[in-house]
Amino acid sequence: YTIGWWIDFGQQPIKSDVLVVLTGDYARPAYAAELFAQGFASEVWLSRPRRLSALAQLDLMDIHLPREEDINREILVKRGVPKDRIRFYGRDVVSTADEASALREEFPSRGKRILVVTSRFHARRALIILRRSLPEAEVRVVATPYEHFDRRWWKDKELSQNAMFEVLKT
């Protein structure tokens, strides 16, 4: 049950200067669009993750599947976020720490309030990493309600994999 407590985390959204969507699941930009529509921030930032090697191989064969950040942008746009309110940061990020470093380099965060959108199982670790990387900003991490979650994580294959990865990564 301890792991269930650890991965069952998310803060309440507050009005912020910017929404930051961490890569990993398409439920995240969907929730960010909802928060944007509710006026929690006037801009949404998306990171650019490293392309999975299998997809990079398809690129080499001239078979192009959209990049994750392009899909995330499309979700935001289809849910009402104007294109000019979407910004990209980072390049080929491979971890939450990479995303935090890239955001620190590209976003003037001093004195700003940053609302981060991720998954419930990832939110606690994301908060720790982002607060360390951006100590001059107020960071708040919200969990998308659009992903399945159960504190009995061991009964769900996908959630149990995510729970174990979070423990190892932490």
Q: What is the pTM of this model?
A: 0.83
* The length of the chain, given as a count of residues: 170
Alpha carbon separation from 102 to 138, 139, 145 (Å, rounded):
17, 15, 26
pLDDT, one tens digit per residue, over 29-48 is: 999 999 999 999 999 999 99
pLDDT, one tens digit per residue, over 146-163 is: 877 766 667 767 666 666
User: Which two structure tokens, joined as six digits, stand for 69?
Assistant: 């950040």
Distance in angstroms (rounded) separating the CA atoms of residues 169 and 164: 9
- Enter the DSSP assignment of 51: P
